[in-house]
Homo-oligomer: A and B are copies of this chain.
Amino acid sequence: MKTKQHIPRKNLITRSPYPGSKKIHIKGSMHGINVAMRAIDLSGKSYITYDTSGPYTHSEVDINIHQGLKKIREPWILTRNDVEQHQQTKQKPDCTPSHIVYRAKTGQKVTQMAYAKKGIITPEMEYVAIRENQQLREMKKIFADAVHKHPGQSFGIPMPEEEISPEFVRKEIAEGRAILPVNINHPEVEPMIIGSRFLVKINANIGNSISSSCIEEEVEKAVWACRWGADTIMDLSTGEYIQETREWILRNSPVPVGTVPIYQALEKVDGYAYELTWDLLKETIIEQAEQGVDYITIHAGLLKRHIPLTDGRLTGIVSRGGSILAKWCLMHQQENFIYDNFDELCHIVAQYDMGLSLGDGLRPGCLADANDKAQFAELETLGELTQKAWKQDVQVMIEGPGHVPLQLIKENVEKQQRNCFGAPFYTLGPITTDITPGYDHISSAIGAANIGWYGTSMLCYVTPKEHLGLPDKNDVKQGVIAYKLAAHVADLAKGHPAAQLRDNLMSKARFEFRWQDQFALSLDPDTAIEFHQAAKSKESSDSEHFCSMCGPKFCSMKATKEFRDQFQTKPEHH
């Protein structure tokens, strides 16, 4: 692994605030924390909403990516007095921002699950409680005329009625139904939670393969993904500057960062799966834990006996990690070394509060292979591993497919929830048809909205380039928006208490022809403004009661307004 003296150019990083919005901070009552949120200005009144963009959209904050973001969690971590400074195992890459490495003191448990089980509400837990909906009650008063709500339909998952309290957060973490991925070595992160009773989250994969990307671009890709709504990012780099790239991303990421350590381990043995060992992977995981990786994908559930179950498949094994481990098992004729060393793995990650994302190495790679014996056999093993991890207070989520036809999606969530005792489900898509290369973000947004509705907690995005090539910056945006959209559709359908108001405010703004408010409430104001400007005729102003779609004669909303005005006072006009 080489390192390169790469100095990011500051002007590559997107820093503008969202149109019509400003960053605000809401103070917590328990820990004096300040929760960053976004206030959307609606003709003078503020609608406050979740904000994944970090300080990058806060115009008053000066960001120097050589120093990294402010370490907001550091005082919280040090106050707990259960960690100690530690010599970094692998030398920090040159030029990367300064970073003190912590590890749990011997005998201490430093995971959010450990605290939660002891009944402790951490600042992190209070942070996510506020983030999820604490302002809602007040906002409902302000926007009382837009409060309409349909009952949600949450399959076996009772949603909180009105408010998500810090105690509710603690309980969900203690019982393993939610994870709050925050490595003690990633103090820059703004805490967030992944669980079926919270807002559905989305992940964006970034990272270069071979040498098609450079480090500055990857940092900007992270910032860019967060701007459009990524709740976590996974750095899937497999190239030469893997460690350095990750360091830059971590020091500048306001959201949790996940990785797949086996990719880096494989780099260390020049791509020869046969040479992989537990010690090599362990060393890699420790390096990443010290850097601050918040969660790692581990393919510990793919067992040697599962491999023959894939024989009749149309597309075999399509998980990269899964195929590496299957190859290893077959070549050595031994059991998966991660499965065999899972307890030690848990012991290691618990010292950093690095979460485990139990990978589905046998996920289907096409609709024909969906929900087959191989996939479900591995899922059962993931359930066994979940309980092992929980015993050591390690936070766990379970990865899921992939490619699934619409009518088989629900079975995935039901089986996962049952086999894995309610642990959060984290799915890739799923794609619902195989014939849409170039449009797989749409084909999979359909699957994602449905699987989110059924109870999946986080959706890993798919970009338009899936199956064709690596995503560029625009693809990242297209993927993130499609998934933010799908997650929100799922939130609405489940009845998350904070989900409906924004839609109603948009609808009200639409009926009242408040175009600027419509743009500000859009998932992507830039595109809404651009499309509208292109269409708007020179004559009409923003406040006119019709738009370029139907013209003045055919505007139904204008007509409704007219006859409402006319017939409210004189119902017998003619």
Tell me the A residues contacting B by CB distance below 8 Å. 146, 148-153, 209-210, 212, 238, 263, 266, 271, 273, 310, 314-320, 322-324, 326-327, 330-333, 365-371, 405-408, 432-439, 441-443, 445-446, 449-450, 453, 464-470, 481-482, 485-486, 488-490, 492-495, 500, 502-504, 506-508, 510-511, 518-519, 521-524, 527-528, 530-532, 534-536, 547-551, 553-557, 559-564, 566-567, 572-574
Contact = CB atoms under 8 A, between A and B. Distances in A.
A238 B152 CA distance: 39
Contact of A209 (B238, B468, B548): B548
Complex copy number for this chain: 2
A486 B370 CA distance: 19
Contact of A557 (B271, B315, B468): B315
Which of A333, A470, A506, A527 has its CB near the most chain B CB atoms (within 10 A)?
A506
Contacts of A503: 366-368, 433-435
Contacts of A146: 314, 368
A367 B531 CA distance: 23
Nearest to A502: B435
Contacts of A437: 518-519, 522, 527-528, 531-532
A166 B432 CA distance: 30
B470 A331 contact: no
Nearest to A512: B315
Nearest to A438: B527
Which of A322, A370, A482 has its CB near the most chain B CB atoms (within 10 A)?
A482
Contacts of A439: 481-482, 485, 523-524, 527
Contacts of A560: 310, 315-318, 323, 326
Given A368-B500, A436-B523, A506-B435, A333 B574 contact: yes
A548 B465 CA distance: 11
Contacts of A314: 146, 148, 504, 507-508, 511
A380 to B, nearest CB: 21
A327 to B, nearest CB: 5
A150 B469 contact: no
Nearest to A147: B368
Which of A332, A406, A443, A548 has its CB near the most chain B CB atoms (within 10 A)?
A406
